[in-house]
Amino acid sequence: MKNHWKLLSFFMLASSLAAATSVAGAQSIRDRIKRRAEESVGRKIDKAVDCAMGDTKCIDKAKAEGKTVNVVPASDTAPKKGGAAEAQATGADALKPGEGAWANYDFKPGERVLYADDFMKDEVGDFPRSLEFINGSMEIVEWQGARYLRASSDAKFHIVLPQPLAERYTLEFDLAVPSGALWIAPLDNEHKQRIEFHNGGKIGYHEDGREYTGTEWVEAFRGKMYRARVMADGRYIKLYINDRRMANIPNANPARGSKILFYVDGSQENPAMFGAFRLAAGGKKLYDALAEKGRVATQGIYFDTGSDRIRPESTPTLKEISAMLNEHADLKLTIEGHTDNVGSAASNQTLSEKRAAAVVQYLTEHGIDGGRLSAKGFGATKPAEPNDTPEGRQNNRRVELVKM
């Protein structure tokens, strides 16, 4: 019996040792696999280098070392996440409406958005589904928390509209074009009529053999991301970069086609990048629309993302509201804040109330009697359009003026 228990104890000990050895061996194998995977990832990361547009020394050095080059706009103009869609232009963060260069800024976006896209619904590496591809090498990339269309060769694409452009329209988009230029042809024919944004910030407009060229080159814009804007009203065209009006053409004859051609210079070393497109139709002046319908929506009051801080790009629209109230002393307004349906209903309601109150506060601080104003927020409860498209959501993020 004693020998039997000894033999049994020996086998149990041997089994335990074998199991322990097996676990330890498996753990060791898993550790080795994990280390090798981490080393592999590390090697891949080490082979990718971010180089600013036009930084040929960085690009050449990375290539000489066998590393992958990821060309991006200069770091000091990197947009914040969600900034492009909310029109956060470079240098605007510390300013209020009417301050700095924004005091003379006169761009007012159209109130009805026809096309809008920030590419957040597309896959990185794809071409945007909302645009029409013509030719070139283009793909969506992600940078600083936002999505951009990168052209790493000379490339063409269309914005396609369901109908021709209105008499008054505005076009906004983020742009970096470090080498060459971007041509925009509203007639889908770049040789008949086009708007030009050159590297270095120079602006041009060509029409049936006539040429209008801005005289100013702004070296600070070269290779960096900026907000490009076009405002057409009848025969009038104004062109902007960030807070600067770069061209003022009163006797143009801008086309109103249903396809807008974009033709851009790009390369692997100097890719062009686009982001946060917004094309909107204009209309009557605020007072005329208010007198006709008793309410008017505006897309021209911008806020920081998820905030009630009014951005300086709002200057022209706020000035128009102030002037209207000063010219019509009997006019009283309710300022309504509206949002899309992204986020919780409670947070959207609170945000809309705060934004409406911020507009009232701005107007009272600029001489308007507070007794003529009230503020209401409706969150996402009164959409102007369905929220199932980028354009619909953009039109729903609005401030409305309602005649009391």
Percentage, residues of the chain above pLDDT 70: 81
Check pLDDT > 70 for residue 352. Answer: yes
Q: What is the predicted pLDDT for the residue at 47?
A: 59
pLDDT digits (tens, 9 = 90+) for 233-289: 888 889 988 888 888 888 887 778 888 999 999 998 889 999 999 999 886 788 888
Task: Given CATH 3.40.50.2300, say whether it is the number of domain 286-403.
Answer: no
CATH number given to 80-281: 2.60.120.560
Tokens 């991301």 belong to residue: 225
Lowest mean pLDDT among 68-82, 153-167, 197-211, 309-323: 68-82
Measured between alpha carbons, how far is residue 330 from residues 327, 361, 377, 392 in Å? 9, 19, 24, 34
Assign residue 224 a region: left if phi > 0, alpha if psi is -120 to 50, beta otherwise? beta
Q: What is the predicted pLDDT for the residue at 26?
A: 47
Check pLDDT > 70 for residue 10. Answer: no
**Could you give the CA distance from residue 384 to residue 257 in angstroms, rounded to a whole number?**
26
Q: What is the predicted pLDDT for the residue at 54?
A: 67
Mean pLDDT of the chain: 80
Domain boundaries, the chain: 1-38, 80-281, 286-403
Q: What is the predicted pLDDT for the residue at 27?
A: 52
Mean pLDDT across the stretch 120-145? 92
Check pLDDT > 50 for residue 369. Answer: yes
Mean pLDDT across the stretch 135-144? 92
Long-range CB contacts for residues 20-24, cutoff 8 Å, separation at least 24 = none
- For residue 260, what are its two tokens? 């807008």
Mean pLDDT across the stretch 27-42? 46
Residue pair 395/384 in contact (Cβ under 8 Å)? The answer is yes
Check pLDDT > 80 for residue 314. Answer: yes
Check pLDDT > 50 for residue 397. Answer: yes
Q: What is the predicted pLDDT for the residue at 345?
A: 92
pLDDT digits (tens, 9 = 90+) for 19-29: 444 444 445 54
- Whether this prediction's pTM lies above 0.75 is answered by yes
Q: What is the predicted pLDDT for the residue at 250?
A: 86
Q: What is the predicted pLDDT for the residue at 14?
A: 46
pLDDT digits (tens, 9 = 90+) for 191-200: 788 888 988 7
pLDDT digits (tens, 9 = 90+) for 322-345: 999 999 999 999 999 999 998 899
Mean pLDDT across the stretch 363-370? 91
**Could you give the CA distance from residue 111 to residue 124 in angstroms, rounded to a whole number?**
30
Q: What is the predicted pLDDT for the residue at 18?
A: 46
Q: What is the predicted pLDDT for the residue at 215?
A: 57
- Report which of residues 25 and 58 the model is more confident about: 58
Q: What is the predicted pLDDT for the residue at 171?
A: 92
Check pLDDT > 80 for residue 100. Answer: no
Measured between alpha carbons, how far is residue 324 from residues 102, 293, 333 in Å? 20, 16, 11
- Report which of residues 98 and 384 the model is more confident about: 384
Mean pLDDT across the stretch 52-74? 77
Residue pair 147/260 in contact (Cβ under 8 Å)? The answer is no
Q: What is the predicted pLDDT for the residue at 24?
A: 46
Residue pair 186/165 in contact (Cβ under 8 Å)? The answer is yes
Check pLDDT > 60 for residue 85. Answer: no
Q: What is the predicted pLDDT for the residue at 173?
A: 94
Percentage, residues of the chain above pLDDT 90: 35
Please give the radius of gyration of the chain, using alpha carbons only, rounded to the nearest integer: 28
